Amino acid sequence: MSKNWLITGASSGLGRGLAERALARGDGVVATLRKPGALDDLLASHPGKLRIVECDVTDLDAMRRTVAQAFDAFGRIDIVVSNAGYGLFGAAEETSDAQIDRQIATNLTGSMQLIRAVVPRLREQGGGRIVQVSSEGGQIAYPGFGAYHASKWGIEGFVEAVAQEVAPFGIDFVIVEPGPTRTNFGTGLDVAAALPCYADTPVGEIRRALDGGYFEFADAAKTVEAMLATIDEPNPPQRLVLGKLAYEHIRDALTRRLASVEAQKAIALSVMEDA
């Protein structure tokens, strides 16, 4: 049976890849993007199955209108993919107020408000699935990406809470956590002006790594296929880790955290009233 999708940030990368694969198998897609014309080729090859809406998720009124249009267009949306976002690089004191505000407004607030907008519709129709595209950066942190990590750690916490709230209504979530992937993430990166004092620090090392192509990249097409296969599962995992670096980094971070918590058991229990 065909499904209907709402995908934000669908002009390129993983969002476009999901739109292409969904359309190729006969699903209906409402795709949002900020750049007009980016999906004209798909629109021409899939008439009646693809609806394109220009929308910036930081414009909350426009985003809510887009959600209403999406559900009205197909009568039902089965899968909502919250994919709009970008990265900001710079040490905490290098980034400007405006850069931080825009990062949080797009990656965190925009995603939260999209979820808030679609939940009533999904509840009224009897259920649905929300796919939140996060990052390995939702569970680990690189120096120089503090604001980006704040947005990703934040949206993962929000999803954890909302998933419990809406499970009785047949609504579930998949948080996708890709590592470095061969998409346009790097070209869309907002880079703060560098301060010389950080040149020989971990921030400087990451800055040079970004310039030199240091990271091992996952294949974007394979990543989309893995996402699609998981989204199609009747009972998917709440978190989907994708890529060698993502797997290794998240596994190592969780292992260290668990060891640290276990080491604190005695002091944790010592503060209880009856201790």
Domain of 166: which CATH number?
3.40.50.720
The helix or strand, by DSSP H or E, that contains position 224, with its residue range, turns out to be: helix 220-232
Work out the average pLDDT over 72-95: 95
User: For the chain, how far is it from start to end, CA to CA, in angstroms?
Assistant: 58
Of 19, 256, 14, 4, give the one whose Cα is nearest residue 134.
Answer: 14
Residue 249 lies in a domain: no
pLDDT digits (tens, 9 = 90+) for 163-207: 999 999 999 999 999 988 877 666 789 999 999 999 999 999 999
* Cβ-Cβ contacts under 8 Å for 150 (sequence gap 6 or more): 103, 104, 108
Of 3, 58, 1, 37, give the one whose Cα is nearest residue 16.
Answer: 37
pLDDT digits (tens, 9 = 90+) for 195-237: 999 999 999 999 998 876 556 788 999 999 999 999 999 999 9
Give me the chain's average pLDDT, please: 94
Residue 250 lies in a domain: no
Q: What pLDDT, on a 0 to 100 scale, did the predictor assign at position 148?
A: 97
Express as a percent the part of the chain with pLDDT over 90. Answer: 84
Question: How many domains would you assign to the chain?
Answer: 1
Residues annotated as part of the active site? 134, 148, 152
**What is the separation of C-alpha 217 from the centre of its chain, rounded to a whole number of angstroms?**
17
Do β-strands 79-82 and 239-242 pair in parallel, antiparallel, or remain unpaired?
unpaired
Q: What pLDDT, on a 0 to 100 scale, did the predictor assign at position 12?
A: 85
Residue 160 lies in a domain: yes
Site of tokens 């919250």: 82
Residue 261 lies in a domain: no
Which amino acid is present at 2? S
- Predicted structure pTM score: 0.94
> Where residue 77 falls among pLDDT bands split at 50, 70, 90?
very high
Site of tokens 């990590």: 149
Residue 262 lies in a domain: no
Q: What are phi and psi of 23, to 5 degrees?
A: -65, -40
Express as a percent the part of the chain with pLDDT over 70. Answer: 97
Q: What pLDDT, on a 0 to 100 scale, did the predictor assign at position 275?
A: 58
Q: What pLDDT, on a 0 to 100 scale, did the predictor assign at position 182?
A: 79
Q: What pLDDT, on a 0 to 100 scale, did the predictor assign at position 201?
A: 97
pLDDT at 240 over 80: yes
Residue 208 lies in a domain: yes
Work out the average pLDDT over 150-158: 98
pLDDT at 49 over 70: yes
Residue 4's Cβ-count burial label (10 Å; 0-12, 13-18, 19+) is: buried
Q: Which domain holds residue 79?
A: 4-243
